[in-house]
Chains A and B, each alone.
Chain A
C-alpha cells in the first residue's frame, strides 16, 4: 500500500514518514507568517495534529504538500486572530541588513504596531504578498480563496494600514 493510503487509514509509521518529510516546509511557511520561531514550531506541531485528525478526509490521490500548506495557513490564521491584541511584532527573524537606517526607529515601531492591529485575514495576505512577495496564486491556494479575493484583501489591508499610519502621523511619501 502507498504511503499516503497507509496514512489515510491511520498508520502512525506512515504519518511519521510524512511528518519527517514535510515538517521543514510547513515550518518555513508558518514562520514567514507569524515571524516567531518558537510560535512557528508550536504551530507546525498543531498543523500536523490537525492533519492527523483529518486523515480520513484526505484523498490519497491528492496533493499532500498543498493540503498541508492549507492547514498550516489556517493554523497560522487562528494564531493571528488570537494574538491580534498584542501590539508589537517580533523582529528577531527579519534580516537586519535590509532594514533602512533612514527610517527612524519610532516610525518603524509605529508601522509594526499599525500592521499588528490589522484584522488577521488582512494581515495574513499582506504578510505573504507585500513582505514575502509570494504570488497571489500561491496565497489563494494556501488560504482557500480566489485570486481576486486575495487581491481585494491586499488592497483593503494597504488602505487600512495607510489610514492608520496617517492617523499616527507617519508620512507615506512616494519616494520611500
Chain B
C-alpha cells in the first residue's frame, strides 16, 4: 500500500466521517462531578465485600472464633 492509496482512503474516510466541528462544551459539568464524587464515596470497594465474605466463611467453619473476634472488636 503506497502513499496514494493511504491518501485515497483518508479522503474517503473524511467524506463518510467528517471531522468534528462542534467541540464546544455547552454546560458546566461540575455539578455532575460532585454527584459522582458523592456516589463513589458512598460505594464500598469490592475487596471490602471480599473480606466480609471471607470472615463469614471463617466464622461458619470455626464458630469458636466468634468470642475471640468480639473480644478484639
A159 touches B25 (CB 8 A): no
Assembly CA distance A90 to B21 (angstroms): 14
**Distance in Å from the Cβ of B63 to the closest Cβ of chain A?**
39
Tell me what chain A mostly uses at the interface: helix, strand, loop, or mixed: helix
Contact of B23 among A31, A161, A170 (CB under 8 A): A31
Contact of A162 among B9, B17, B21 (CB under 8 A): B9
B15 touches A158 (CB 8 A): no
Assembly CA distance A44 to B14 (angstroms): 25
Task: Determine the chain A residues whose CB is within 8 A of the CB of B10 once the complex forms.
Answer: 130, 158
B18 touches A115 (CB 8 A): no
> Is A57's CB within 8 Å of the partner chain B?
no
> Is B42's CB within 8 Å of the partner chain A?
no
> Is B1's CB within 8 Å of the partner chain A?
yes
Given A19-B33, A162-B1, also A176-B21 (CB < 8 A): no
> Is A61's CB within 8 Å of the partner chain B?
no
Contact of B13 among A44, A91, A115 (CB under 8 A): A115
Flag B15-41 by CB within 8 Å of A: 1 or 0 each: 111111111111111101100110010
What is the size, in residues, of chain B's interface with A at 8 Å between Cβ atoms? 33
Assembly CA distance A62 to B28 (angstroms): 26
25 A–B contacts, CB within 8 A, in A order? A24-B25, A27-B23, A27-B25, A31-B20, A31-B23, A35-B17, A44-B25, A45-B32, A91-B18, A93-B20, A93-B21, A95-B21, A98-B15, A111-B16, A112-B17, A115-B13, A126-B13, A130-B14, A131-B14, A133-B19, A155-B1, A162-B1, A172-B5, A172-B8, A176-B15
B-to-A contact residues, CB < 8 Å: 1, 4-30, 32-33, 36-37, 40
A-to-B contact residues, CB < 8 Å: 16, 19-20, 23-24, 27-28, 31-32, 35, 37, 41, 44-46, 48-49, 52, 89, 91, 93-96, 98-100, 103, 107-108, 111-112, 115, 126, 130-133, 155, 158-159, 161-162, 165, 170, 172-176
